[in-house]
Amino acid sequence: MLAVFTPNGASLVRSQLGSQDTPPALEPGAVWLDLISPTPAEAKAVETLLGFEVPTREEMQEIEPSSRLYEENGARYMTATLLCQSETAQPRLSPVTFILHGSKLVTVRYDEPRPFAILGAKLARTCPPTVTGLQVFMDLLEAIVDRAADTMERLSAEVDNLSGRVFATTREGTGKIDFKHILRAVGRRGDLTSKAREALVSIGRLLLYMQNESDTLKLSKDMRAQIKSMSRDVASLTDHASYLGDKVQFLLDATLGLVTIDQNNVIKIFAVLSVVLMPPTLVASIYGMNFKYMPELDWHYGYPLAVAVMFLAAVLPYLLFRWKKWL
């Protein structure tokens, strides 16, 4: 799908073009062309109109900086990895390419990062009459950083709540802690934290590239200050993501430790029972032998005496363990 944003007074008008549209159908005054899971025909239409290549999905997924941040045929290519579906049980990372060419911005993506929808709705309400692709790009970066901050705030609150659950004495209504559920929750938070940090590192590299190329891009003083501010925010969020990653790892270790303690308590009970029952079993084994000459077998009170010995042999170790506070 190809979405084209064209200035109309104090707003941007969004029009959607299908793969059957030819290059002349693209508005020449458009400042933002948003390619969403583009077909070869849509990518070709943009290439024909603007005179530069649109990267394929495989090219966007390359991780080396030289393949993500470069200039070619007068167009500036910048690819960042963004976090998508962060509020669902299956967050994922998706590469997004930003192409600056003259006064136009072209974005290529194969997912639906939330900042795009937020900015699209905002620019549909109001925007500067002389808006350019570079200004839209700066607004997109600002929305991406704000979204990342919101995600980290929510994740921080969830990790704090999870910490309380891990170290709770008992689970309400059951008397036990559901470690299986907690382990799954810890795993999901750890996965989201690692993905958020990877996205923040990618955005930080893009902002650093923008800073280094500020003269070539002819950024205004306000834009340079905006990039510096976003770089500081991203660095702070990255540090916070690292802290949350360490905290999630601590919660995972603590949960596994508590599971081990519970298992040891169960094993301890079996060990104590085996020790308590061992002396009575020995006495019963002795008097269960089929020897002819065993004086106690002829005693009138032999059976009660054997039962009493077995009872004492079981109770005395139990009382000893209680006194030693092993139980």
Q: Kindly report, residue by residue over 41-65, the tens digit of the pLDDT.
A: 878 877 777 778 888 888 888 888 8
Please check the confidence at residue 172 and state whether its pLDDT lies above 60.
Answer: no
Task: Find the range with the poorest average confidence among 19-28, 59-68, 215-224.
Answer: 19-28
- What digits encode the pLDDT tens for the residues 140-150? 999 999 999 99
Please check the confidence at residue 327 and state whether its pLDDT lies above 70.
Answer: no
Please check the confidence at residue 18 and state whether its pLDDT lies above 70.
Answer: no
The whole-number pLDDT of residue 20 equals 54
The whole-number pLDDT of residue 24 equals 44
The whole-number pLDDT of residue 317 equals 79
The whole-number pLDDT of residue 170 equals 54
> What share of the chain in percent tops pLDDT 70?
93
- How much is the mean pLDDT over the chain? 83
The string over 284-314, giving b where at least 16 C-beta atoms fall within 10 Å of a residue's C-beta and e elsewhere, is eeeeeeeeeeeeeeeeeeeeeebeebbeebb
Which residue, among 161, 152, 153, 168, has the nearest Cα to 185 in the 3D structure?
A: 161
- What digits encode the pLDDT tens for the residues 308-325? 888 888 788 778 777 777
| pTM, full prediction | 0.77
Of 16 and 201, which is predicted with more confidence?
A: 201
The whole-number pLDDT of residue 242 equals 92
CATH assignment, 2-261: 3.30.460.20
User: What mean pLDDT comes out for the span 3-15?
Assistant: 80
Q: Is the fold of 2-261 the same as that of 264-323?
A: no
Task: Report domain extents, the chain.
Answer: 2-261, 264-323
User: What mean pLDDT comes out for the span 285-312?
Assistant: 78
> 185: which 2 tokens?
């929750």
Range picked from 103-112, 270-279, 313-322 for highest mean pLDDT: 103-112
User: What mean pLDDT comes out for the span 196-202?
Assistant: 92
Residue 225's pLDDT band, with cuts at 50, 70 and 90, is very high
User: What mean pLDDT comes out for the span 222-231?
Assistant: 91
- What digits encode the pLDDT tens for the residues 64-80? 888 888 888 888 899 99
CATH class belonging to 264-323: mainly alpha
The whole-number pLDDT of residue 130 equals 80
